[in-house]
Amino acid sequence: MSPYHGAQGGVRIRRCSVGLTDNIVVYQGRSDYGEFMNKTLLFAALILLNALGMAIGATETQTQPATGTAAPDFKLTTGDGSQVSLKDYRGKWVVLYFYPKDFTSGCTLEAQNFQRDLAKYQNASAIILGVSVDSAQSHKDFCAKEGLNFKLLADTDAKVSAEYGSTMDYKGAKMAARNTFLINPEGKIAKVYTGVKPAEHSEQVLKDLAELKKS
């Protein structure tokens, strides 16, 4: 059977039969065919650019508190049911780390490494506080399972995570992004870590903490 299925008004219609173009019709025999195709391609390009612009405009831009500025205070519930505020630890160094979810592999590794190095942090007069959107009960169970002896805080509405520019969307749910803030005894941001790698993070924080305490 011929690939040409008919003609109307001097226009021959051909059905392509290769791959994804099986249902595309190609118009031939028009005196203005070149102009017609140029306009079609221009129109398609405009649609693409508009879609890209909308996507870029919809991208959420987050800004973390800058080094040297006051760390936003908060009051959150811990796994043991008590309330904790950042100002409770004034006079000490604080490692405030945000992480996505209890019991997941990366978050477990990160927590295990902080626990492994806990004595070193204590010797440096530093407190470790972990924050995620999990419930206080989830934190309690996570600490019990992994033997964690530092506090995990329940930021269930993600407000504190947002104040620290550390949120992300995962399958339509708001979660904490894996960022860490080293806060000095005066309550100011001393160092910011974004896109943390769990396996090496605790060692890097301890190294930076030692350098900052010298300065």
Q: With contact defined as beta carbons under 8 Å apart, do 127 and 121 qualify?
A: yes
CB under 8 Å to 102, separation ≥6 — which residues? 132, 134, 138, 139, 141, 142, 152
User: Residue 179 has which token pair?
Assistant: 């960022």
Please, which residues bridge with residue 7 across strands? Answer: 12
Answer yes or no: 107 catalytic.
Answer: yes
> For residue 34, what are the CA distances in angstroms to 9, 15, 40, 45, 174?
18, 19, 10, 17, 50
Q: Measured on CA atoms in the order 85, 147, 135, 197, is the torsion positive or negative? A: positive
Residue from 76, 84, 86, 107 carrying the catalytic annotation: 107
- Parallel, antiparallel or unpaired: strands 167-170 and 173-176: antiparallel
- Nearest CA among 133, 160, 136, 134 for reference residue 74: 160
Q: 3-state class of 171 per DSSP?
A: coil
Q: What is d(CA 119, CA 135) in angstroms, rounded to the nearest whole number? A: 27
The residues that are catalytic are 107
